[in-house]
Amino acid sequence: MSLLKKIKRYSVFYFVTSLGMAFPVSAQVFSKASLQEMAVKYIAEQIGEHDSEQIHLSALPLDSRIPDRACSSTPDIISSSEPPFNRQITIQVKCDDPQSWAQYVHIKVLKMAPVVVTTDNIARGEVITSAHLTIEMKPTHFVRVQYQDDPKALIGSRSKRNIREGMPILLNQICMVCKGDAINIYASTKGLQIKTTGVALEDGTLGEQILVENKKTGKVLNARVDGVESVQVNI
């Protein structure tokens, strides 16, 4: 056998031996990605199925210099936090082997809420239909009071400005009752609901007070918008 072949043979032998010393045969190797997955799964289990759709979990990147970890037993997962969680928590993944190690993983916790967004560009003055709308989950700290979570409430309203595709619809961007529209006027008294028709004298959206005219009497009334082409008056 030539000297070169002997050198190659011994090099392979020492390489395999060094791998065995680094990671015992019975040990399981955990990559950075697997450690992150374990931490995220642990938090998801703590949250439970009931709230899982309302919360988005993600692990912050680990230092690229961190090597793969080997452990002959299942690593312990330790957290000092309990539900409800803050927006960021720290998880410790720990191996109690003779060559013990611990890795900290930071988990980002985002509470989500449904928001109505547009599926297409909506032009100023365009009547909004169901085809224009969909629901997306957004982090709650970005959700404004004027955002809506029910597409049905917006169908039939009219855009007061151009709205770009993929954007949430704000109530101040639409009129559910627009000036000049024929509307239904509702009033409640002594447990009875009275309905009549009228004309909107102003633009209005959900919850706003506007002036309307009763078609039958010609009387101008102060009314609260409670839906598309619908208002409530106090009598």
What is the pLDDT tens value at each position of the chain, 235 positions in all?
Answer: 443 343 334 343 333 344 444 545 578 999 999 999 999 999 999 887 556 568 999 999 999 999 999 999 999 999 988 888 888 999 999 999 887 999 999 999 999 999 999 999 999 999 999 999 999 999 998 898 889 999 999 999 999 999 999 999 999 999 999 999 999 999 988 778 899 999 999 999 999 999 999 999 999 999 999 999 999 998 7
Domains detected in the chain: 27-111 (no CATH), 113-175 (3.90.1210.10), 182-233 (2.30.30.760)
8 Å CB contact between 132 and 94: no
8 Å CB contact between 57 and 107: yes
Tell me, what's the pLDDT at 148? 93
Give 8-45 as a 3 state SS string: HHHHHHHHHHHHHHHCCCCCEEECHHHHHHHHHHHHHH
Q: In 3D, which of 40, 37, 46 has the Cα closest to residue 81?
A: 46
Q: What's the sign of the alpha-carbon dihedral 42, 48, 49, 55?
A: negative
8 Å CB contact between 86 and 118: no
- Helix, strand, or coil here: 67? coil
Tell me, what's the pLDDT at 13? 35
Predicted TM-score of the model (pTM): 0.68
CA distance 125 to 166: 18
CA distance 232 to 16: 81
CA distance 167 to 219: 39
CA distance 123 to 163: 7
Q: What's the sign of the alpha-carbon dihedral 11, 16, 20, 23?
A: positive
Enumerate the β-bridge partners of residue 91.
105
Tell me, what's the pLDDT at 183? 96
Structure-token match 């208002």, residue found: 231
Tell me, what's the pLDDT at 126? 96
Tell me, what's the pLDDT at 159? 96
Contacts of 47 (CB under 8 A, 6+ apart): 55, 83, 85
Task: Look at strands 133-139 and 158-159 and give their pairing.
Answer: unpaired
Residue 208 structure tokens:
């706003």
